[in-house]
Structure 1
Amino acid sequence: MTGDVLVFGSLNVDLVCRVERIASPGETVLGPTYERLFGGKGANQAVAAARATSSEVSVRMAGAVGADELGDAVLANLKTHRIDVTAVTRASEATGAAFISIDAEGENAITVASGANRTLSADRLEGMPHGEGTVLLLQMETPHAASIEAARSIKAGGGTVVLNLAPVPARPAPAFIRALCDPVDWLIVNEIELSAAGQAIGIADGSLRDRASRLSDALSLGVIATLGARGVVVAEPGAEPFTQAALDISVEDTTGAGDTFCGVFAAGLAEGLDVRLAVRRAAIAASLACRRLGAQTAMPTRGEIETFIDLQ
């Protein structure tokens, strides 16, 4: 069975600067130039899904941009990737922007000005697919209450909900984590996000694999912990966790790797793949995204992913 990927999330323009090292507080670091790229975790994940999925799966974006030139450009970019923008609204606030520094090792530091993303509400999902074949993909760059409402709406219609807990709030309250995750089927976290979510509900010790498993049991959902070059750990309630390796590649830029994983994983679920294969494809795609500069510009196509699928 195939369905739809519905991304509810942020839409930004990224200003990217390469530097020798990322600035410390109070320090100025010079870079030779900068690039203007398209970003926002929501848009990134939608593009990753659209590039990776078959033509039988529709990718739709629910978000908000400003009534400005940047908003026009963001919408045009989404359309070039076959992404339905019916549920993207124009807000009175400026289109969101992210300011990204990338150091000589390919690591990054990101500051986001939310802008129009702050206006996103769950009513943007009216008229969007809500059935069994819908996979809703959420992140944390838009209003949290709206994301919870959107998740409940899709869950009530029989769809699948995937939440990328990024960026995770500082010291999230236990009640917040439980409310956020209650309508969620799959929680995708990196090591920092896993620690934050675990500590919020009293899981602070043990190996990463153990903490992922305990978090899965405690919240009654699947947990996917992405570990960069060390691959992925996947835990489901009452089951033994399994791991998926990353590709051994030369890293140019890690900026869009996490978003690539999320989008390709959601696309796999929408195509009806089992979880192991969906995770495998997503891990390969995330690895391949590290070979090039930028987020959306580095995301692999379906053909590139298929080329590497038999190497693991």
Structure 2
Amino acid sequence: MILVFGSLNMDLVMTVPVLPKPGETVLCPGYTLKPGGKGNNQAVAAARAGAPVAMAGCVGPDAFGSGLVENLVRAGVDTSGIHLVEQPTGCAMICVDADAENFISVASGANLAAASDRVEDSRLGPGTTVLMQMEVPAEQNWALIRRAHDLGSRTVLNVAPAADVPPEVLKLIDVLVVNEHEAAEIADRLGLSASSATGLARDLARTCGVTCVVTLGSAGALMAESDGALWTAAPLKINPVDTTGAGDAFCGILTAALDGGAEPAEALHRASVGASLACMALGAQESLPTSEAIDARLHEVAEPLRLS
């Protein structure tokens, strides 16, 4: 079972000719409302990848909140851990340009009320993988990581958006997922000097005693183990439409594979291919692939290469 502790947002998506610069207004024909939030997206990604998933978080007493819960139910996610609070449901404004690049602004709303003590001990233990991101209060993540670790759960932390993770918390995490920028920020705070993605992955894995996964966008991903093992995974060759949900797809699919017993290299392979597939339609969730869709495209990309 995967327990996702994280954010739930309604995304206001606009397709624009170019991304706005400071002080600039860019017109577009219209907008769409789409379910989003990193926690929400990763929960749906893991469910579509075949894992049993429960979501823990908060929504407000509004149409956005009820719509997000209904969408998760349709995706097969257990929503009993989602709590109704007084703050309005989180909302994000996303502009996507003709090159599939994006500009995102998020109003946290009810996500700021997410509390680790609402997650019951009965949901944690050796049979649970806890997946977290950084769109809820950081101290609530740290508290849940400590408790999940003590109760024997596997913990996966996606440090997105970038944040300062206490060194003692990093050492309780089983899998750390970051992009190159996020990896560099964490390494700098730890006094590590590596500058390449490979060096960052190795140093973080060794220093923190974690499996460190560094996503590299169109260049694929790296995975380093604390014992020095290192894999590199190539992405699927595609023509991207919208990259908004790619990182969340990667995290959800990686966690689903690990929770299902896959070896790390196999999980990396599935996540890299699945994240590529998630770039082929507009919106963070519509393009999240099923397990069958990932299976159908795995053969198009070589299995991860072990570098050491």
TM > 0.5: yes
What is the match of residue 278 of structure 1?
267
Q: Any residues of structure 2 matched to 1:1-312 within 5 Å, and which?
A: 4-53=1-50, 57-126=51-120, 128-169=122-163, 172=164, 176-312=165-301
Task: Give yes or no for contact 1:13–1:97 (8 Å, CA) kept in 2.
Answer: yes
Q: Percent identity?
A: 41
How far apart are residue 206 of structure 1 and its match? 3.1
Unaligned runs of 5+ in 2: 302-308
Q: What does the per-residue CA deviation read over 1:12-53, in whole Å, with 9 as the maximum and x for residues that have no partner?
A: 000001111111111111122111000000000000000011
Q: Taking structure 2 as the reference length, what is the TM-score of the superposition?
A: 0.95
Task: Give yes or no for contact 2:184–2:195 (8 Å, CA) kept in 1.
Answer: no
Taking the aligned partners of 1:236 and 1:107, their CA distance within structure 2 comes to 31
How far apart are residue 269 of structure 1 and its match? 1.2
Taking the aligned partners of 1:37 and 1:167, their CA distance within structure 2 comes to 20
Q: What does the per-residue CA deviation read over 1:167-208, in whole Å, with 9 as the maximum and x for residues that have no partner?
A: 013xx3xxx431442321111011111111111112244321
Taking the aligned partners of 2:171 and 2:57, their CA distance within structure 1 comes to 22
How far apart are residue 227 of structure 1 and its match? 0.6
Taking the aligned partners of 1:272 and 1:133, their CA distance within structure 2 comes to 11
Is 265-274 or 251-260 further displaced after alignment?
Answer: 265-274
Taking the aligned partners of 2:10 and 2:30, their CA distance within structure 1 comes to 16
Task: Give yes or no for contact 1:189–1:226 (8 Å, CA) kept in 2.
Answer: yes
How far apart are residue 115 of structure 1 and its match? 0.3
Task: Give yes or no for contact 2:206–2:228 (8 Å, CA) kept in 1.
Answer: no
What is the match of residue 304 of structure 2?
none
Task: Give yes or no for contact 1:177–1:197 (8 Å, CA) kept in 2.
Answer: no
Unaligned runs of 5+ in 1: none
Query: Number of matched residues?
Result: 301
Is 85-94 or 212-221 further displaced after alignment?
Answer: 212-221
Taking the aligned partners of 1:193 and 1:265, their CA distance within structure 2 comes to 18
Taking the aligned partners of 1:40 and 1:85, their CA distance within structure 2 comes to 15
Taking the aligned partners of 2:91 and 2:251, their CA distance within structure 1 comes to 21
Is 255-264 or 216-225 further displaced after alignment?
Answer: 216-225
Runs of 4+ in 1 over 3 A off after TM superposition: none
Taking the aligned partners of 2:28 and 2:295, their CA distance within structure 1 comes to 36
Taking the aligned partners of 2:261 and 2:69, their CA distance within structure 1 comes to 28
